Amino acid sequence: MKKNLVFALTSLILLTCGSQSLFAQSEFIRNRYLRLGFHAKLWEFEDNSGFLEVALPMIYSMPIGRRFALDVMASPFGAGVYEGSLRDPSNGEKIISLSDTYVRASYIIGDNQALLTVGVGIPSGTTELNIEEFNIAGIAANRALANPVSNFGSGSNVNVGLAVAREIGSWVFGFGVGFARRGEYNLNALGGTIDPGDEINVTIGADKNFGSAKFTGDVIYTMYTEDQSNVLSPYQAGDKLYINGRLIFTLGFLNPVILSAGNRIRAENSSRSQTFQNGNEFEARIAAVVPVGGDNFGLKFVYLMRNYGDGNQDVGGATINGFGGGLVLKISQHFTFDPTFIYSTGSFNTGKDTKADVTGYELTGGFAFRF
């Protein structure tokens, strides 16, 4: 069961430290590991405008001895908005940069009983956004769009996390705490600076095998301190509760089938003069692989759904469904390749009883090398 303990600890520490979605596939690995990825996403809106983002995420994990590992993560990316034709560069604005570089050190305590991590986000990319880049960053950060790089132009940050796991019968339970210190950065678009609030995360997780099936679940509570700025009023983000679960199993010729779902509830945000309602955010995903000719090649099928509730004035809610598929190709014991294409369609709520349609095209892939 030691493998299950490491898996549970790794899941907890990633959730506790609030890792960016870009690096959600990173894990505590005892062998050296390099993943070079490609992630492109194009959104077309009904007003004949669009948003395109292309990222090249890179993750390198290096063990040092039996207990210590060092991970380095970064992603060159380009993002832009356009009107009319995507082929005409004069129709929009763009930004090409490197995401923040994230370096994380992990240390196993005891007999796989606890995992301590310390991570540093280094602002290696653009940190001073003009008004056009500020608008691009706003679209990139829209949660319902789930863009490859959703956060850039911010300052340095430090994350510290500790997770413990224990076997109780056939279950593995875990508990994690984490703290994230966010550094100050410039808001050139507004002529000032902002010191974002820090984060405290508390995570409780559970993990169990049911024959050949596996279930994992987590409950995460996040608290924020107040944002401070010399050009904006103090801003307090509301606390967040996130509940998610995942079931992995085999169904006939489908091996594996992965069902996952999560629900995010956020308290109201507030400034000095007003409050801002946050809608409920529900996400679900189904993925299945059909092995073809053994374990080295498979066809992958994906369905995803995001249903976000409205904020203030019946605005901000969204319903998006995605359908797609791809390949799972294991070229050798040390080299894999997994391209995936997803077509998405849905709408955003723009007011009471009014919606705006959106269509998305997403291509992901990556080469993974294990040494």
pLDDT recorded at residue 149 = 87
| Domain range summary for the chain, segments of one domain joined by + | 2-370
23 has pLDDT over 60: no
| pLDDT band per the 50, 70, 90 thresholds, residue 15 | low
Q: For residues 181 and 86, which has the higher predicted lDDT (pLDDT)?
A: 181
pLDDT recorded at residue 152 = 75
Which of 128-137, 217-226, 290-299, 323-332 shows the lowest per-residue confidence on average (mean pLDDT)? 128-137
Distance (Å, whole) CA 21 – CA 332? 28
| pLDDT band per the 50, 70, 90 thresholds, residue 147 | very high
CATH number for domain 2-370, candidates 1.10.1740, 2.40.50, 2.60.40, 2.40.160: 2.40.160
| pLDDT band per the 50, 70, 90 thresholds, residue 233 | confident
pLDDT recorded at residue 18 = 47
- For 169, left (φ over 0), alpha (ψ -120 to 50), or beta? left
pLDDT recorded at residue 26 = 33
Q: For residues 351 and 17, which has the higher predicted lDDT (pLDDT)?
A: 351
Four-CA torsion 21, 109, 157, 309, nearest 10 degrees? 40
pLDDT recorded at residue 17 = 53
157 has pLDDT over 70: yes
Q: For residues 9 and 339, which has the higher predicted lDDT (pLDDT)?
A: 339
**Type of residue at 22:** L
Distance (Å, whole) CA 352 – CA 251? 43
pLDDT averaged over every residue in the chain:
85
Distance (Å, whole) CA 184 – CA 1? 43
User: Is-contact 311 339, C-beta < 8 A?
Assistant: no
Radius of gyration of the chain from its Cα atoms, rounded to whole angstroms:
21
86 has pLDDT over 60: no
User: Is-contact 276 269, C-beta < 8 A?
Assistant: yes
What's the pLDDT tens digit per position in 38-70? 999 999 998 888 999 999 999 999 999 888 999
The model's pTM is 0.86
